[in-house]
């Protein structure tokens, strides 16, 4: 991912936060002359290496599974808050062009397949526990144990220790404070852009509201 220096964020905690907040990500694996792409929900495991690790699973019938079983190096691309930025929101619109503000994280590593039934079901249970947060009462695999046991034969789980991590936060860092103020005001009037507004407020907490 191309990251100009003013958009690069080396803070591991902020990268992890973005991955937790936006866990549905794109798994990309070049293998045997093809590039496989599959959208999956991921679980961040910070303890799995210096940069953390990821867990997920996919259908065994998916051709992508063969690439995972082969241990082909992969990238997981997370897209965080994002939104269109109009030149109209700057001090001098005639000297600006449209752009897009966004947060993105790319995690690179080599997946390790998890196929042993108990380990696979434990992986699934961790994923379920995180994504059932807020459901009352939360659903658990134990409620459908027999079905889950049969389903395990048809999926491939995997862990991916993050070897390299890229975190890009393109949030008007290359603009003046006055231009950013215009962007913040405009985003504040657009409910659909609440997430990118929150990301900018985090980066510029002292700037006018």
Give residue 209's pLDDT: 64
In a domain, 102, yes or no: yes
* 98: pLDDT strictly greater than 70: yes
Q: What is the CATH number of the domain that holds 148?
A: 2.30.110.10
How far apart (Å, rounded) are the C-alpha atoms in residues 125 and 206? 42
* 206: pLDDT strictly greater than 80: no
In a domain, 208, yes or no: no
Q: What is the extent of the structural domain holding 151?
A: 5-203
Kindly state the average pLDDT of the residues 34-45.
98
pLDDT, tens digit, for every residue of 119-150?
999 999 999 999 999 899 998 888 877 667 77
SS3 content of the chain, % helix, strand, coil (to 5): 40, 35, 30
* 34: pLDDT strictly greater than 70: yes
Q: How would residue 155 be classed by pLDDT, with cut points 50, 70 and 90? A: very high
How far apart (Å, rounded) are the C-alpha atoms in residues 181 and 183? 5
Give how many domains the chain has, as a whole number: 1
How many percent of the chain have pLDDT more than 90?
85
In a domain, 69, yes or no: yes
Give residue 144's pLDDT: 77
Give residue 3's pLDDT: 96
In a domain, 147, yes or no: yes
In a domain, 157, yes or no: yes
In a domain, 209, yes or no: no
Within 13 Å of residue 140, how many CA atoms lie on the same side as its CB?
4
pLDDT, tens digit, for every residue of 43-62?
999 999 999 999 999 999 99
**What is the layout of strands, in order, in the sheet containing 164-170?**
34-41, 24-31, 74-85, 99-109, 164-170
pTM: 0.93
Per-residue buried b or exposed e for 98-130, using 16+ beta carbons within 10 Å of the residue's own CB: eeebbbbbbbbbebebbeeeeebbebbeebeee
């Amino acid at each position: 991912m191309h990251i100009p220096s003013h958009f690069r964020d080396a803070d591991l905690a902020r990268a992890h936060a973005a991955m937790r907040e936006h866990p549905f990500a794109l798994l990309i694996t070049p293998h045997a002359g093809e590039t496989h792409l599959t959208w999956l929900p991921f679980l961040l495991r910070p303890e799995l290496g210096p940069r953390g690790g990821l867990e997920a699973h996919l259908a065994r019938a998916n051709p992508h599974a063969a690439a995972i079983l082969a241990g082909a190096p992969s990238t997981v691309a997370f897209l965080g808050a994002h939104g269109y930025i109009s030149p109209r929101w700057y001090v001098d619109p005639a000297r600006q062009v449209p752009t897009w503000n966004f947060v993105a994280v790319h995690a690179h590593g080599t997946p390790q397949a998890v196929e042993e039934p108990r380990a696979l079901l434990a992986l699934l249970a961790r994923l379920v526990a995180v994504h059932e947060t807020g459901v009352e009462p939360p659903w658990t695999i134990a409620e459908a144990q027999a079905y889950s046991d049969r389903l395990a034969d048809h999926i491939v789980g995997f862990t991916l220790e993050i070897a390299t991590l890229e975190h890009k936060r393109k949030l008007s860092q290359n603009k003046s404070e006055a231009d950013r103020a215009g962007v913040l005001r405009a985003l504040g009037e657009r409910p659909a852009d609440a997430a990118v507004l929150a990301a900018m407020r985090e980066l510029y907490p002292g700037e006018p509201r």
